[in-house]
Amino acid sequence: MSIFVDDDTRVVVQGITGGEGKFHTEQMLEYGTNVVAGAVPGKGGREVAGVPVYDTVTEAAREEDADASVVFVPPAFAGDAVFEALDAPLDLAVAITEGIPTRDMAKVNKRLSEVDTRLLGPNCPGIITPGEAKLGILPGDVFESGDVGLVSRSGTLTYQVVSNLTERGIGQTTAIGIGGDPIIGTSFVDALSAFEADPDTDAVVMCGEIGGEDEEQAAEFIAENMDTPVAGFIAGRTAPPGKRMGHAGAIVSGSGTGTAESKIGALDDAGVPVGDTPDEVADRVEEFL
Spatial contact of 155 and 137, defined as CB atoms under 8 Å apart: yes
Whether residues 40 and 95 share a domain: the answer is yes
- 156 and 273 share a domain? yes
Query: HSE on the CB side for 5, CA within 13 Å?
Result: 34
What's the rounded Cα separation, in Å, for the pair 78 and 72? Answer: 8
Q: Is residue 126 part of a domain?
A: no
Structural domains of the chain, count: 2
Among 58, 91, 120, identify where a domain stops: 120
Residues 111 and 164 in one domain: no
Please report, to the nearest 10 degrees, the dihedral formed by the alpha carbons of residues 72, 248, 103, 67 taken in order.
30
**Does 206 lie in the same domain as 246?**
yes
Same domain, 65 and 153: no
Active site positions, annotated:
247
Q: Verify that 214 and 270 share a domain, yes or no.
A: yes
CA 158 – CA 114 distance, rounded (Å): 31
* pLDDT value, residue 260: 84
The pLDDT tens digits for 232-281 are: 999 866 555 555 545 544 444 445 557 889 999 999 999 999 999 999 99
Q: Are 81 and 191 found together in one domain?
A: no
Query: Each residue of 54-110: pLDDT tens digit?
Result: 999 999 999 999 999 999 999 999 999 999 999 999 999 999 999 999 999 999 999
224 with 198: CB under 8 angstroms? no
Beta bridge partners of 151: 176, 206
Q: Look up the domain containing 250 and give its range.
A: 139-288
pLDDT digits (tens, 9 = 90+) for 124-171: 999 999 999 999 999 999 999 999 999 999 888 999 999 999 999 999
Where residue 46 falls among pLDDT bands split at 50, 70, 90? very high
**220 and 94 part of one domain:** no
Pick the last residue of a domain from 56, 90, 120: 120
pLDDT at 235: 83
Residues 82 and 173 in one domain: no
Domain assignment of residue 130, yes or no: no
Overall average pLDDT of the 26-50 stretch: 98
CATH code (residue 84): 3.40.50.720
* 111 within a domain of the structure (yes/no): yes
